[in-house]
A and B are shown apart, each in its own frame.
Chain A
Amino acid sequence: MRILVIEDEKKVASFIKKGLEEEHYAVDTAYDGETGLYMSDVNEYDLIVLDLMIPKIDGLEVLKRIRGNKNNVPILILTAKDTVEDIVKGLDSGCDDYLTKPFNFTVFLARIRALLRREKIEKEPFLKIADLTLSPVTHKVTRKGKEVELTSKEYALLEYFMRNPDRVLTRTLISEHVWDYHFDSLTNVIDVYVNYLRKKIDKDFEPKLIHTIRGVGYILSAHRP
């Protein structure tokens, strides 16, 4: 899951990025509204964390322009503005959640999970395909009830697969949602990680879940031969 953090206060952006990366999210940061808007335009994010008082283009304006572009990415406003009018204005301008600074990081993470869940109309707190389960809260992955140990990147990759089951995912899509923008998508890193993942969740189990679509990418499905 790839998240964009638009926040002008560098230290705030930095600890958010660090905390989110430790939760296996890919994180990009933008320090002003203009850059943030540009990045949200050229990249596909699963969620945007947006500060309101940011230079160049004001946060509310960024929000309106993102929505104006018919982009329905979940947006969480994170700001020091805590009056009722500010919150109502923010929510009415099209954000999905509003958190005031200073905030509790655990709550922040839980809200992000809730927003990502809402996006896929999932009400259950864990993802499930056949006998494979993944809990975004505890990061625990099981296959046939047996716990599977994954590295951070493997976990992020699997979460992305499981949030988009039965859908062909190209290497570009995977790189956009699992890696941040420093990633060079021309390398075969994705194939390497998909193979690692296969070894851990598919090798000793039936049916196989990850399938290669030659020349296109991969698909996670329980209904393919």
Chain B
Amino acid sequence: MAVQDKELTEAERQLLAAMQEGFLPVARPFKEVAERLGSTESDVIAELRRLKEEGAIRRLGAIIDSRKIGYTGTLCAMKVPGERIPEVAEVINSFPEITHNYVREYEYNVWFTILAPSVDRINDILAAIKNKTGIPELINLSARRIFKIRVKFDLEGAAKP
């Protein structure tokens, strides 16, 4: 599985690809990764720390299936006048439960995802956003059924079986 980040050396790419395959819940997980790469545990640890500090690694650790711990999420969209996007974005982003927020090209132009412990919490947040921004056009497009979620991520963009 190729890691596409152009600023990475081949060795870094291989380390990150191995890490993407996953590391094990064993006493010395990075030793196991090092063995896979023919490297040493200390080199792997030093590299991972550097790559994390430099931001090439956004996050290292467990990938949690939030639904399994009772969390629920949704996708929302708002109609925001262009000049108000920064201000409205600030209100939206003030909630830690908002995980993604982005602009799309349509009347509904500000889209965001929420991950929260309960539907009530989501509704509280949406009510607060509406009244703080004074914008009522906010729609909650919660998922009714999931046909597909990418399980294994392949950086070429094609889903893995």
Pairing of A with B: no
